[in-house]
Amino acid sequence: MSAEAARTDLPPPASLEAPPDIRGDSSPFARSILTLGACGLALVLVGTIAIQIFYAVAHTPDPQVCLANGIIPYQPATASGPASGIQGWQGVCNIVLGLTSRAETAVLVTGIVLGVASLGIGLLSYRKADTRRKRDHLVTGAVFGGQAVNFGILLLIFVQSPQKFVLQFMNFYQLRGHDGVALVTGIKYTLVLAFGGEIGGILIGLVVALLEISGRRSVRAPATVYINLFRGTPLLVQLSIGYFGINLGLGLHLSSFTVAIAVFALNMGAYSAEVFRAGIQSIERGQMEAARSVGMTYLQAMRYAIVPQAVRRVIPPLLNEFVILIKDTSLVIIIGLYLNQLDLFSAAQQGYSDTFSATFFLAASIGYLIVTLPMIGIVNAVERRLRSGLVSVAGGGV
Amino acid sequence: MPNADGSIVRLEGVHKWFGDNHVLRGIDLVLQEGDVQVVVGPSGGGKSTLLRCVNLLELPSQGHVWFDGQDITDVRTNLNEVRTHMGLVFQAFNLFPHMRALRNITLPLEKVLNLSRTEAEERAREQLQRVKLEGKADAYPGSLSGGQQQRVAIARALAMRPRLMLFDEVTSALDPELVGEVLQVMRELAADGMTMMVVTHEMGFAREVGTRMVFMDGGVIVEAGEPRETFANPRSPRLQEFLGEIL
């Protein structure tokens, strides 16, 4: 009886509108540590950029000061002598002046001090926090502070003497005019080379993969030899043999661009054949057996049952190979493209040999990143979707 | 003629080795039109291998398999043509996961039997109705239950209008509450007079639906006979022991 009475005393189960917030509340102290760390990091990064923008927009450099920094102002050619000095010296000088300014040092030192403070306080106090949200804020503040200290100290060392680096790598003036345009068309020809090689490589790879999984050794052997030859030798050597040895040596009279695409396709074919083989072999044996059991031929089973499933699984590794190929197209410089169809790296190299400014290589790096970063993003997105099972409708339910 | 006796399938001295593993050790078996041949026995006894030797998904290492009077172990046989007359249903369903249920059924009709799309779809819907899944024509296999998938797989095999249906432990991968619906489809199939060879662990089903049974162990047929009679009065000690273990 008493147990029953106790049971009726229990409150009815609380019906919750939403899952409860188990993270709890923050506190002014925790929030201020988070703000402190974020401010330190922002000072170091945003402050440096702001100072650069200020100098670039609102400052006219004094030629004497620039000269003292080793940046020789440009003098056009006159009757008495040829042109001398550095083209775009104002821009280079402003970058140096901005980096070496008192304001920059002040920003960095302040950022480092804030960083050290939030790092120290955050790390010392986060264990004592009594809610998860407080702990999150303290730890994040400490991490921001740590990053502020890290970047701040690196920049502080760098701004002691940035002149040579800026002159060599940040002379953006050199990119203007003809050579700058060449970099943009360079991206185009890099993509043409890469897509040409990729499409050819996928076609070759699919056929070779089908040979590679054959039950007959006589069919497998040539495929294996091809794959091993192209995977086992450097692309640079393959380009040289294809262009100098076969095209020039045997007199085929093809353009270096055509030869390059052909070699990239053959090289890619070997790698994608392995990707396709793995993809096809990852499809359950039962799929082939089911297709054969209703009377399909081996090729029909491949065409309708196996390959469509394998293709989904090989998309991420194929895109990975594609990213690698985009970068490897730069090797085409060994065989030399026509001046009107230079790829990104060849164009940058051309610019460098005209000006001896490594800024071209920096610009080319950015050009490659513009192409490869979205590709890498796509690979990651596709892999996530494959993992969550949205793309692969497979599974079979067993 | 090997099928002068009207047999649809005849196995003679079939042996199968996987490497050094001697899985089938001389099997002789005859199926007449309309037989429901059940094959029972402990795991690893060679039942599935035997079934797969009938449509030559496994090539016998030795011996002959005749289908409708034709020696299909002869290398000159067009196996793809022969297989259109034998439906096989797998333990793991093996539906094509990238195709809807209807397409799973119409694909072989169009590509192997060269039916037009409309003919193929008509036949496929007929078979989906037969397995009571007419509403699931547009579903992908991944969204169907195991029992539903297996019934689509049966419909896929039936749509080819085979003369013989082979069932390879088709309920072993199913949750217990889904076994019944698949067995019901097979029961109706047997009642329609379909010639069937059924490898199964469902002893009740074997006894009820089978017209003939064999008990396999260690790669040989230990005992053969009429199912009710054999289950009731097993002669060989091995079958007595087996039935004792599972009952």
Positive or negative torsion for Cα B130, B135, B140, B143: negative
Contact flag A295-B83 (C-beta cutoff 8 Å):
yes
- Report the chain A residue with the minimal C-alpha distance to residue B107: A304
Contact flag B92-A396 (C-beta cutoff 8 Å):
yes
pLDDT at A391: 44
Q: Is A393 on the interface with B (CB under 8 A)?
A: yes
Which residues on neighbouring strands pair with residue B11, listed in sequence order? B29, B65
Smallest CA–CA distance, residue A397 to chain B, in Å, is 6
Ramachandran sector of residue A308 (left: φ over 0; alpha: ψ -120 to 50; beta: rest): alpha
Which helix or strand (DSSP H or E) is residue A156 part of?
helix A132-158
Nearest CA to A371 out of A198, A172, A125, A207 is that of A198
Which residues on neighbouring strands pair with residue B14, listed in sequence order? B27
Contact flag B112-A394 (C-beta cutoff 8 Å):
no
**Residue B108: which of A294, A309, A397 has the nearest Cβ?**
A294
Dihedral (Cα; A121, A123, A128, A134), 10-degree rounding: 80
pLDDT tens sequence across B33-74 = 999 999 999 988 899 999 999 999 999 999 999 999 999 999
Contact between residue A239 and residue A260 where contact means Cβ atoms under 8 Å apart: yes
Range list of H helices, chain B: 47-54, 79-83, 101-111, 117-130, 146-159, 176-191, 203-209, 227-232, 237-246
pLDDT at A215: 87
Contact between residue A56 and residue A162 where contact means Cβ atoms under 8 Å apart: no
Contacts of B112 in chain A (CB under 8 A): 294-296, 300
What is the band of A177 on the pLDDT scale with cuts at 50, 70, 90? low
Q: Is A304 on the interface with B (CB under 8 A)?
A: yes
Which tokens sit at A346? 């060849």
Q: Is A120 on the interface with B (CB under 8 A)?
A: no
Contacts of B155 in chain A (CB under 8 A): none
Q: What are phi and psi of B46, to 5 degrees?
A: 100, 10
Q: Is A386 on the interface with B (CB under 8 A)?
A: no
Contact flag B96-A297 (C-beta cutoff 8 Å):
no
- Report the chain B residue with the minimal C-alpha distance to residue A394: B97
Least confident of A6-15, A302-311, B225-234: A6-15
Which tokens sit at A71? 């940046």
pLDDT tens sequence across B108-140 = 999 999 999 999 999 999 999 999 999 999 999
Contacts of B86 in chain A (CB under 8 A): 293
pLDDT at A393: 46
Contacts of B145 in chain A (CB under 8 A): 397
Find all residues with CB under 8 Å of A199, minimum gap 6, and list them. A265
The CA distance from B164 to B140, in Å, is 27
Least confident of A115-119, A347-351, B11-15: A347-351
Contact between residue B126 and residue B109 where contact means Cβ atoms under 8 Å apart: no
Contact flag A396-B81 (C-beta cutoff 8 Å):
no
SS (H, E, C) B172-183: CCCCHHHHHHHH
pLDDT tens sequence across A256-313 = 999 999 999 999 999 999 999 999 999 999 999 999 999 999 999 999 999 999 988 8
Which tokens sit at A79? 């009757």
pLDDT at A319: 92
**Residue A293: which of B55, B140, B142 has the nearest Cβ?**
B55
Contact between residue A367 and residue A183 where contact means Cβ atoms under 8 Å apart: yes
Contact flag B92-A289 (C-beta cutoff 8 Å):
no
Contact flag A294-B98 (C-beta cutoff 8 Å):
no
Average predicted confidence (pLDDT) for chain A? 89
Could you give the angle at which helices A307-328 and A256-281 cross, rounded to 10 degrees? 140
Contact flag A396-B141 (C-beta cutoff 8 Å):
yes
CB pairs under 8 A between A and B: 91
Nearest CA to B64 out of B73, B56, B77 is that of B73
Contact flag A289-B157 (C-beta cutoff 8 Å):
no
Find all residues with CB under 8 Å of A366, minimum gap 6, and list them. none
pLDDT over 70 for what percent of chain B?
98
pLDDT greater than 60 at residue A389: no
Contact between residue B93 and residue B146 where contact means Cβ atoms under 8 Å apart: yes
- Report the chain A residue with the minimal C-alpha distance to residue B144: A397
pLDDT at B6: 75
The CA distance from A213 to B199, in Å, is 31
Nearest CA to B57 out of A307, A290, A299 is that of A290
C-beta atoms surrounding A230 within 10 Å: 21
Contacts of A396 in chain B (CB under 8 A): 92-95, 97, 141-142, 149
pLDDT greater than 50 at residue B189: yes
Q: Is A282 on the interface with B (CB under 8 A)?
A: no
- Report the chain B residue with the minimal C-alpha distance to residue A391: B98
User: What is the pTM for the complete model shown?
Assistant: 0.80
Q: Is A296 on the interface with B (CB under 8 A)?
A: yes
Query: How does strand B212-217 pair with strand B36-40?
Result: parallel
C-beta atoms surrounding B66 within 10 Å: 20
The CA distance from B124 to A9, in Å, is 62
**Residue B98: which of A289, A292, A393 has the nearest Cβ?**
A393
Smallest CA–CA distance, residue A315 to chain B, in Å, is 16
